[in-house]
Amino acid sequence: MHDPQAHLAPIPDEFEGDYPIRVRGLVNRFDDHVIHDGLDLDVKRGEIIGVVGGSGTGKSVLMRSIIGLQIPQEGSIEVLGRSITDARDDDDIDIRSQWGVLFQGGALFSTLTVAENVEVPLREFYPEITDELRHEIARYKVLLSGLPANATSKYPSELSGGMKKRAGLARALALDPELLFLDEPTAGLDPIGAAAFDTLIRSLQETLGLTVFLITHDLDTLYEICDRVAVLADKKVIAVGTIPELLALDHPWIQEYFNGPRGRAAKDAQDREAAHVVKPNPEAATSAMEQE
Ligand SMILES: Nc1ncnc2c1ncn2[C@@H]1O[C@H](COP(=O)(O)OP(=O)(O)OP(=O)(O)O)[C@@H](O)[C@H]1O
């Protein structure tokens, strides 16, 4: 597919390290309420990392810290090799153009159409491009997010919950980001819509080479699309790994989360799906037919 955004100036100094997100010794507190106390996290380039933890453990605050919306009391955060926590160099190209964010609920501007919403970051970061090119990029991102072309002219109030998420995703992808932040993307979707959204995220991540930071409570999402999972508890990331690696740990929250009834159901669903995608062994099929 032709990418109209190929016309935009490339971002210099493309990051080539292994860890586009590095958090060290993060401390966040609101008055005397300590949310994070010495939190460390490395996110690998090209992975989908799921971030889980009980309600109020600070998953959203962590995401907001990484994208510079929350100034931590202590610690350092590097994104794509640049410090988010130190004062910014005015000459530095704006790092915010290199990530896209899908906030809970989509956070669309209700008085703008879907296309106009997608155009907001384009106007901000590339004011020099023509109206025609901006419209073309927005349309392309809407289609990329799995919405029909006629969604471009609709207002958020005319969209279903799933369509709103896709519109928010289109806006998050507007600037061809390297990093994608998703805060509970499948919350509020029915299971079929949630599974479709998971598939979309995985396929976009593979096609566009994204690194994805995904906060979720959805165990199916964790099993389906996350390469690793980071667990927030006790004001820190207490473990990061694949689900089998996490299951090998004996932390009570991890065991209860993944081995509780919902965790087991999600695992069973994934096992069933894996069994269906196993290619039939032709020899076994032959011998089965011979036995009939
Ligand atoms: N701006 C703020 N001022 C004061 N307290 C805040 C602020 N933002 C977050 N908090 C508090 O920080 C804690 C962590 O909030 P956060 O939204 O990060 O939790 P979470 O892990 O994302 O929870 P959930 O899974 O319920 O969405 C909560 O107790 C919340 O009330």
Residue spans per domain, the chain: 4-236
Report whether pLDDT(232) > 80.
Answer: yes
Given pLDDT bands bounded at 50, 70 and 90, which one contains residue 262? confident
Binding site membership of 31 for ligand 1 (Cβ less than 6 Å): no
Give the angle 119-120-124 at the CA atoms, nearest 5°: 115
How, if at all, do strands 21-30 and 99-102 pair?
Answer: unpaired
- pLDDT of 87: 55
The answer to whether the CB of 39 falls within 8 A of the CB of 237 is yes
Q: Which CATH number fits domain 4-236: 3.40.50.300, 1.20.1250.20, 3.40.50.10090, 3.40.50.970?
A: 3.40.50.300
- pLDDT of 198: 94
Sequence letter at residue 196: A
Given pLDDT bands bounded at 50, 70 and 90, which one contains residue 15? confident
Distance in angstroms (rounded) separating the CA atoms of residues 233 and 59? 10
- pLDDT of 227: 96
| Atom 18, ligand 1: residue with shortest CA distance | 58
Across the chain, mean pLDDT equals: 85
* Per-residue pLDDT reduced to its tens digit, 239-254: 999 999 999 998 888 9
Report whether pLDDT(267) > 80.
Answer: no
- pLDDT of 11: 46
Residues near 289 by Cβ (< 8 Å), separated by ≥ 6? none
Closest ligand 1 atom to the C-alpha of 232? 21
**Mean of the pLDDT values across residues 198-216?**
94
Give distance in angstroms: CA of 27 to centre of ligand 1: 14
Give distance in angstroms: CA of 175 to centre of ligand 1: 28
Binding site membership of 59 for ligand 1 (Cβ less than 6 Å): yes
Written as one string, the DSSP assignment of 237-263 is EEEEE-HHHHHTS--HHHHHHHHSHHH
